[in-house]
Structure 1
Amino acid sequence: MPEGHSVHRITRQFARNFVGRPVAVSSPQGRFAQGAEVLDGRTMTRAESVGKQMFLEFDEQVWLRVHLGLYGAWDFAGEVLVDPTIASANGRMGQTNQRGTDLPEAERVFDDAGENSLTSIGAPRRARVHVRMSEQTSGLDEADGLAADDAPWPPPVVGQVRVRLLTDATCADLRGPTACAVQTPDEIAAVIAKLGPDPLVGDVAEGEERFVRAVRRRNVAIGQLLMDQSVVSGIGNVYRAEMLYRARLDPHTPGKAIPEEIVRGLWRDWVQLLRIGVETGQMMTMDGLDADGWRRAMASRDDRHWVYHRAGLPCRVCGTEIVLEEMQARKLYWCPTCQR
């Protein structure tokens, strides 16, 4: 499931390519036909996200709410104005990102899926592209690359497209979302009210206070609380495991038993990690890396995390075998020595 950094990246791309433009909306698959009819022809006026949910506003205060869930993805095609604060080169946006920037070979960093996650950070540019925006890192085909200048427009529908958003220059196709609904302002407000604080939304200090109160009043394991979107927005399996390790916290410690300064440290760490994720497109959680170490980490998940996906391997600090267990049907990685 996409974590918070991915959804913020996608939202910023919508803000640059769709906001202020009239949008033709259709449902090639047919499952969103009524909603598409409501939205068709309206101008997109705002693109926002909180945690893992994205909200696209159209004129007359009509909203489209999208939650990608486990399998959802956006495909962008056409003339894409890349946001320099989120753009990364090569193919997809979310966990990996945008093709098309030419930098010296020595400055390129390719990950283990062959994708360059750094090289397009820079000035905005327009490019004819086909870009997959999701958390997935495999399973894409030749459509991931630069589209030919003479490619048909609009692009042909491929697969089960729930929603197609189309301007005169840019196309966005949505596949496989958990939620996709037209909603009123009151309905959107009700959804957001149930979500925990997001460091990139609203006042960061206020978000910290909300997070501290939500954690310290609960007799629930911190490993569960960090995944509870009503406690804090955007954290998924990867960030959960890494944040707990970075704080040297046992995942089973009840929230109310954790000292306030440690809870505040968790929030501030999430602020930092989320910003890094949005800027780079990678869930980079390693500290103190030199230039070569940073490049290795950007190139391979094996060098990017302290404990996530390292079950059975020695802890990078103490050498203890990293444990994998299930917590509420989700995989949890942790070090039983460092996190005691």
Structure 2
Amino acid sequence: MPEGHTVHRLAAEHQRMFGGRRVAASSPQGRFAEGAARLDGRVPVEADAHGKHLLVRFDHDVTLHVHLGIYGRYVFGEVPAPEPVGAVRLRLEGPGGYADLRGPNRCELLEPGDVKLLRDRLGPDPLRADADPEMAWRRISRSRTPVAVLLMDQSVVAGPGNIYRAEVLFRQGVDPRLPGRRLTREQWAGIWGDLVTLMADGVRDGRIDTVRPEHTPEAMGRPPRVDGHGGEVYVYRRAGQPCLVCGTPVRTVELASRNLFWCPGCQPPAPED
């Protein structure tokens, strides 16, 4: 599933391509025909993202809400657009190009009140200027749930996925199994600060890189990471490989139905109170 930085990049691309210009909307697949008809001939006013949710507001105050889920993806191109290929749920086409949406988890139109309800269900997004990390801290500091699970809960923090949660916990030296209520405020400040910085880098670069300068392939004289997810990371999908910092084999375990990665050497269990 795309992490939050990807959805913010999609919002920026929608704004660049369609913002302020009338678009043609269609649903070649037919599953969003009624919604596309309401958008056809309208003007996208603002494209925004909150966590993993793309929100494109149109001039008649109706908002297109897209959640890509596991299988959803966008294809952008120049006009004239080619004939749609495959199951295209929604095509937007304007002077700046076209966008084809395939396989989203959600593709729907929301009224203003519905948009507010959606936003109210989501935690603070590290990529948004209006994010309040205290909202997340209040929930984390009262919870017995492991911090690694809390960071994947979009109602606690909106945007991070499996990669960012593994990497920020490593960078901050936090045992991912630590109950939220045992996390210190200083540790939370470090986690939040890392999310803000690393996710902004992801928006800029279009990939997730989390290693510090002294641990890059060039600095360490090691081969670059080869993985479909791209990017240089410390622990994500490196189970059994030596930690780039201490050499301890990276471990993995399933936690809340997701694979968790961490270094026992750099992220030792916190002492019991």
TM-score, L = length of structure 1: 0.74
Q: Deviations over 1:279-311 (max 9, x none)?
A: 111111001247944998987458701001101
Match for residue 285 of structure 1 among 210, 213, 223: 210
**Counterpart in the other structure of 2:101:** 174
Structure 1 residue 218: Cα displacement: 1.1
CA distance in 1, matches of 2:222, 2:153: 32
Say whether residues 1:183 and 2:142 are aligned partners. Answer: no
Whether 1:154 and 2:81 are equivalent positions in the alignment is yes
Q: Number of residue pairs matched?
A: 265
**Counterpart position of 1:47:** 47
Aligned 8 A contact 1:70 1:178 in 2: yes
Mapping of residues 291-306 of structure 1, within 5 Å: 292-293=218-219, 300-301=226-227, 304-306=232-234
Correspondent of 1:328 among 244, 256, 265:
256
* Residue in 2 that maps onto 1:72: 72
Matches within 5 A, 1:250-261: 250-261=175-186
Runs ≥4 residues deviating over 4 A:
293-303
Greater relative contact order (Cα < 8 A, sep 6+): 1
Contact 1:77–1:155 (8 Å) recurs in 2: no
Equivalent position of 1:13 in the other structure: 13
Change (3 A) 1:42 1:283: same
Matched, 1:195 2:129: no
Q: Which runs of 5+ in 1 are unaligned?
A: 80-152
**Match for residue 243 of structure 2?**
315
Once the two structures are TM-superposed, the CA of residue 338 in structure 1 deviates from its matched residue by 1.5
Confirm or deny: 8 A CA contact 1:3 1:234 kept in the other structure: yes
TM superposition score normalised by structure 2: 0.92
| Aligned residue number for residue 271 of structure 2 | none
Contact 2:238 2:250 in 1 (8 A): yes
SS at match of 1:171: strand
What is the aligned-residue RMSD (CA, Å)? 2.0
- d(CA) in 1 for partners of 2:145, 2:188: 14
CA distance in 2, matches of 1:221, 1:186: 33
Partner in structure 1 of residue 37 of structure 2: 37
Secondary structure at 1:180's aligned position in 2?
Answer: strand
SS in 2 for 1:249: coil
Fraction of identical pairs, as percent: 45
Kept in 2, the 8 Å contact 1:284–1:298? The answer is no
- Deviations along 1:81-122, one digit per CA (max 9) or x if unpaired, are xxxxxxxxxxxxxxxxxxxxxxxxxxxxxxxxxxxxxxxxxx
Q: Which runs of 5+ in 2 are unaligned?
A: 269-273
Range with greater deviation from structure 2 (27-36 or 294-303): 294-303
SS class of match (2:167): helix
Instruction: Quote the Cα distance in structure 2 between the aligned partners of 1:181 and 1:264.
Output: 36
Which amino acid is the alignment partner of residue 168 of structure 1?
Answer: P
- Specify the alignment match of 1:228 in structure 2: 153
- Contact 1:4/1:235 (CA < 8 Å) preserved in 2? yes
Query: 2:123 is aligned with what amino acid?
Result: G
Distance 1:7 1:297 in 2: 30
Q: Secondary structure at the match of 1:242?
A: helix
Q: Distance in 2 between matches of 1:188 and 1:252?
A: 34
- Alignment-derived partner of residue 22 in structure 2: 22
Deviation at 1:18, TM superposition (A): 0.4
Tell me the distance in 1 between the aligned counterparts of 2:220 and 2:6: 20
Q: Which amino acid aligns with 2:45?
A: T
